[in-house]
Amino acid sequence: MNIDVEDGVNDFVKQRRDGSVAVIVVDNPPVNALRHEVRAGLLEAFSAARDDAAVSAIVLTCAGRTFVAGADITEFGKPPKPPILSEVISAIEAIEKPTVAAIHGTALGGGLELALGCRYRVAAAGAKLGLPEVKLGLMPGAGGTQRLPRLIGAEKALGMIVSGDPLPAQAAFEAGLVDEIVEGDLSAAAIAFARKLVAEKRTRAPVRDMSEKLADLRANPAKFDELAAAQLKRARGLAAPAACVEAVRWSLDVPFDEALKRERAKFVELLGSDQSKAQRHVFFAEREAAKAPGLPKDVKAREIKSAAVIGAGTMGGGIAMCFASAGIPVTVIETSQEALDRGLATIAKNYRNTAARGGMTAEEADRRIGRIAGALTLEAVKDADLVIEAVFEEMDLKRRVFADLDRFAKPDAVLATNTSYLDVNAIAQTTQRPGSVVGMHFFSPANVMKLLEVVRGAKTAPDVLATAVDVGRKIGKVPAVVGVCHGFVGNRMLRVRGIEAERLLLEGALPQDVDGALTGFGFPMGPFAMGDLAGLDVGWRVRKAEGRRAEIADQLCEMGRFGQKTGKGFYLYEAGSRTPKPDEEVERLIVETSARLGVKRHPIGKEEILERLLYPMINEGARILDEKIAARPGDIDVIWIYGYGWPVWRGGPMFYADQVGLAQVRDRLVQFAEKTGDQTLMPAPLLARLAAEGRGFGSLAAK
């Protein structure tokens, strides 16, 4: 057989011959995922090349923009169709002729495992290599946990597998994962590399037979325990990172074939787990959440080359940092020199602190600081492609600012407001160009939190909406498109949770009970510790504006207890500490308030606290869906995971509701409504309907 032109093994795997080098090409756009036909085609092509005496070496490459970037995760949950990936890899690994994987783009998950089956790897300079399975609640299931440690050592492998973060080509080269970095034509270079191996008669043992890099930790298992403990510190409640650690440990003390069997079994177990199902749901939901229903397909985002932020307070400063960090110059505008200096100094301090902690070089910090200019007049927005308003949360002020922006901003500038609650349509009305106005609701601290609620006003133009989403991605956020209502999606649900949390205090719980139930569930902190962190005066002002009271929180504020910033709030904070300590004074205040209001206190269990906090949120989520403020239940899940610390492995409130069962949620809500007399706790029509039909939110068709 002599193939000079490309020949299809099947629709997804091609092969050609370059002299005596067989070149096998995976061609399954967009990311060359390892669907069944790819696996079968690879096995066939590699076997044929192995058996063909005219072939001296084999190069594996991929068509399009990337090497194999992973398994085909749409096949997850279906019975595996042979050959499974690990069989293909074992067959490739057994080939004695030189085998070379030529990597460009990203070699991820199954893609990297496939490359580990080859004896050599070359990579384009911009390539990235990683095993990100852990991010889907999984672990590598085709030998990655066993081959990677043999190639780069167990310590480095542990870091890569538990974090799921990829290595850039250069780092992969230094670690020994890649044998050569290639500039220019990758497959030509890989073929030349293969020829050289043949000419020099170089051979190398398959990765499975390597052991040199394991010797160190094999001799010192206690060191591995230390490394593992450090890796697992931030993985509270998660099964997958623990499984990754266990599997890497097998590379030290279990024979290779036995370890592969165990790895596969553990992978299958994780695949069926609720945690992984939740994380896979979030993976897809995240990609959907930025899609606004009814937006024309061909709409193009405007290019944002420069930005302006109005207000250099808590949010304005953080938002400006997002742009500066993404390489987009930004002008920050304040009303007084003092406020501007304070804002810019905070930004500089944040960057310098990150540099001091080793998060970036001092030069990089300076470069980013250098991208931020200050100004004291709104006219300074005149060159900005995007303006984001982050002044105080007052409607009259915001309307004045937008009326002025209308005079100074370029005709094609996008005008965004970071308002948390206010009516974006009313703000847009003050301009002659309501189509250019959109909400871009960041979360505090804005330079850290991933969520961006993109608020679509009644008149927001499609390309303005697309621009907000696009620039959101460019500055590293997870955008979720929402409609206009009081508090949009996230804060509207947060408000409901806050009301229930107060009520629980009056009925018998203490702040630490309520917060403890939520941290036990997996939140990083509960509502009272969060209130103390943000400042209790913030919510106090909002409630006053809304004409409502929260008995306990309001009294604390009246006592000057604003939270961490005053050393006291729902908890006590010792000087210089952020650790909340239960406070007897607060306990007395709560008990007295219950008595004054005639509420008989009684013990409330953890389970009930959780239900009382979470089910009303789910109910509000159902209303939000009914009103089309959010297009899909998954959008709400994404918002709560990236904006409010909902544990990712619980999939978000709406996913969680489906797991609990909507009939259960409905029945408990009815009981809560009866018990409290609060009719807003009665099941929302959508929730009641789905529960009656035995359905979940997940069954609502995606739009």
* Contact flag: residue 333 with ligand NAD (CB under 6 A): yes
Options 171, 339, 610, 663; binder of ligand NAD; rule CB under 6 A: 339
Q: Does 313 sit near ligand NAD (CB under 6 A)?
A: yes
Residue of 331, 144, 361, 146 whose CA lies nearest to 254: 146
Residue 701 is encoded by which pair of tokens? 């068709």
Q: 391 or 438, CB closer to ligand NAD?
A: 391
Structure tokens at 410: 């370029």
User: In the set 56, 145, 251, 419, which binds ligand NAD (CB under 6 A)?
Assistant: 419
**Interface stretch with ligand NAD, choices 65-73, 217-225, 255-263, 415-423 (CB under 6 A):** 415-423
Check residue 338 for interaction with ligand NAD (CB under 6 A): no
| 3-state secondary structure at position 27 | coil
Question: Which one of the listed residues 113, 334, 502, 620 is annotated catalytic?
Answer: 113
- Judged by beta carbon, residue 273 or residue 444, the one nearer ligand NAD is 444
The reply on whether position 346 binds ligand NAD by CB under 6 A is: no
CB of 373 to ligand NAD, least distance (A): 14
Interface with ligand NAD (CB under 6 A), residue from 105, 117, 316, 457: 316
**How far is C-alpha 689 from the geometric centre of its chain's CA atoms?**
32
Asked if 470 interacts with ligand NAD (CB under 6 A), we say no
**∠23-25-27 over CA atoms, to 5°?**
170
Binding track over 351-390 against ligand NAD, x by CB under 6 A: ---------------------------------------x
Within 13 A of 105's CA, how many CA atoms are on the CB side? Answer: 17
Q: Is 242 in the site for ligand NAD (CB under 6 A)?
A: no
SS3 breakdown of the chain: % helix, strand, coil, rounded to 5?
55, 10, 35
Question: Is 334 one of the binding residues for ligand NAD (CB under 6 A)?
Answer: yes
Three-state DSSP class for residue 628: coil
Residue number, nearest CB to ligand NAD: 313
CB 416 within 8 A of CB 436: no
Q: Are 191 and 61 in contact (CB under 8 A)?
A: no
Specify whether the CB–CB gap between 655 and 618 falls below 8 A: no
Please give the residues from 533 up to 562 whose contact with ligand NAD meets the rule CB under 6 A. Answer: 534
Q: Is 113 a catalytic residue?
A: yes
* Integer angstrom CA distances of residue 407 from 352, 381, 458: 37, 10, 22
Per the structure block, which two tokens stand in for 666? 């409905």
Buried b (16+ CB within 10 A) or exposed e, 203-217: eeebbbeeeebbeeb
Give yes or no: 133 in active site: yes
Question: Which member of 133, 263, 389, 507 is catalytic?
Answer: 133
- Shortest CB 643 distance to ligand NAD, Å: 9
Binding region for ligand NAD (CB under 6 A) out of 247-255, 265-273, 440-448, 591-599: 440-448
Taking CB under 6 A as the criterion, the residue among 13, 247, 315, 478 binding ligand NAD is 315
In the numeric block, which tokens belong to residue 484?
Answer: 């206009």
Window 32-91: residues binding ligand NAD (CB under 6 A):
none
Write down the least CB distance from residue 317 to ligand NAD, Å. 8
Alpha helices, H only, 357-394: 362-370
The one among 297, 338, 392, 411 contacting ligand NAD by CB under 6 A? 392
Distance of closest approach, residue 606 Cβ to ligand NAD, in angstroms:
28
Who's near 392: CB < 8 A, 6+ residues apart? 311, 313
The yes or no reply on residue 237 touching ligand NAD (CB under 6 A) is: no
Tell me how far CA of residue 438 lies from CA of 297, 379, 447, 600, in angstroms: 19, 20, 20, 47
Q: How many residues contact ligand NAD, by CB under 6 A? A: 24
Calculate ∠ Cα 642-643-644, nearest 5°. 105
Torsion of CA 556, 560, 563, 565, to 10 degrees: 180
Q: Which of 20, 314, 346, 354: binder of ligand NAD (CB under 6 A)?
A: 314
For ligand NAD, the closer of residues 149 and 439 by Cβ is 439
Q: How far is the CB of 83 from ligand NAD (least distance, A)?
A: 51
Closest CA to 698 of 644, 658, 638: 658
Site residues (vs ligand NAD, CB under 6 A): 310-316, 333-335, 339, 390-393, 397, 401, 418-420, 442-444, 534
